[in-house]
Amino acid sequence: MKVFKNAKVLVTGGAGFIGSHLARRLVSLGATVTIIDNLTTGKLRNIEDIRRNILFLRGDLRDARTALKACSGRRYIFHLAADMGGMGYIANNWQILNNNLRIDLNMLSAARADVDLETFLYVSSACVYPEYKQNVAWVRALRESDAYPAWPDTYYGWEKLTAELLFKSELDVRLPRLHNVFGPYSSFDERGKAPMHLIVKAIKHPKPFFEIWGDGKQTRSFLYIDDCIDGLIKLMESGYVGPINIGSDRLVSINELASIIIRISGKQIVANHNYSKPQGVRGRNADITLAKKVLRWQPKVSLEEGLLRTYNWAMSLETS
């Protein structure tokens, strides 16, 4: 952990969900933290408790000069800024591809120009994995090598895979592939992931109805935010330069996820299924063998505990 003491660190997208948690952890480790965010989805309230301990830059990384300014003089860069979201948003193909390619190309050029840069971490995604390996619910857990031959099911996945190659070709880069991270400060809107949507529906039940998209038999693994941040820190400190899964290897159906949330709510809720809504690939799970071996990392917070913490946080917003 001494690696970050007094080090100048940049977190792009640092007012967002994962970025704000990461910035908070880095401040606690003694880093001199700069956050850049255009606040399209990030929110200042996410970093309100650390505003006095960081430098905040409001800027759009689709602009090359903004990226150069943000990267200049940084020893470590955690690049999280991206145009992304859950199943309600991921169909915005052209917008996602255009925005993220521009951001990532600008960040690559700016990082190359930063003479003080030691290590660059690019947050990739489980969306890089091919659709043909995720077409059954009880899917085999995805290994890092499974990304090729490539055929992601979304433009977002194609862009992430392309960016991995771009950054790896030019920088000393770390490449975590995140799998369905959830927790406090998650989005409630169309960019939010399944746990957040179901939690909000449970809190507000009976209006709106508790609706599950699709038949609910589609499967995923979910990683609590604290474990995600542990993995990112460990990876940045490591010398490992290949893609690596940061996720949970506990596979659950969306129906099971909903049942856990309903139990936490204490309400008598009968779920409805909406078959007209998108549900993505049929199954996705993370093989974290490599992370256990290389980083000595694995999730510590159970799905039930993480959902309880997130439910209580969301409840506090409703009652405040």
Cα distances from 277 to residues 88, 216, 274, in angstroms, run: 8, 11, 6
Q: What class, spelled out in words, does domain 2-183+224-249+286-301 have in CATH?
A: alpha beta
Beta-carbon neighbour count of residue 19 at 10 Å? 25
What is the average pLDDT across 222-234? 98
Asked if residue 217 lies in contact with residue 281, where contact means CB atoms within 8 angstroms, the answer is no
pLDDT at 128 over 70: yes
Domain ranges (residues) in the chain = 2-183+224-249+286-301
Residues 265-315 pLDDT 10s: 999 999 999 998 888 899 999 999 999 999 999 999 999 999 999 999 999
Q: What is the mean pLDDT of the chain?
A: 94
What's the pLDDT score for residue 89?
A: 62
pLDDT at 1 over 60: no
What's the pLDDT score for residue 88?
A: 59
What is the average pLDDT across 217-223? 97
Please enumerate in sequence order all residues whose Cβ is within 8 A of that of 312, keeping only pairs 6 or more positions apart, or say none: none
Residues 35-46 pLDDT 10s: 999 999 999 999
Tell me, yes or no, if 156 is annotated catalytic.
yes
pLDDT at 86 over 70: no
pTM of structure: 0.95
What's the pLDDT score for residue 151?
A: 97
DSSP string, the chain: -GGGTT-EEEEETTTSHHHHHHHHHHHHTT-EEEEEE--SS--GGGGGGGGGGEEEEE--TTSHHHHHHHHTT-SEEEE------STTTTT-HHHHHHHHHHHHHHHHHHHHH-TT--EEEE-EEGGGSBGGGS-SSSPPPBPGGGG-S--BSSHHHHHHHHHHHHHHHHS-EEEEEE--EE-TT---STT--HHHHHHHHHHHTTSS--EEETTS--EE--EEHHHHHHHHHHHHHS---SEEEES----EEHHHHHHHHHHHHTS----EEETTS---SSB--B--HHHHHHT-----S-HHHHHHHHHHHHHHHHH-
pLDDT at 91 over 90: no
Of residues 156, 185, 224, 311, which has the active-site annotation? 156
What is the average pLDDT across 179-195? 86
Residues 135-174 pLDDT 10s: 999 999 999 999 999 999 999 999 999 999 999 999 999 9
What is the average pLDDT across 73-99? 83
In the numeric block, the tokens 């917003």 are attached to 317
Please enumerate in sequence order all residues whose Cβ is within 8 A of that of 318, keeping only pairs 6 or more positions apart, or say none: 203, 204
CA distance linking residue 124 with residue 178, whole number of Å: 6
pLDDT at 191 over 80: no
What's the pLDDT score for residue 138?
A: 95
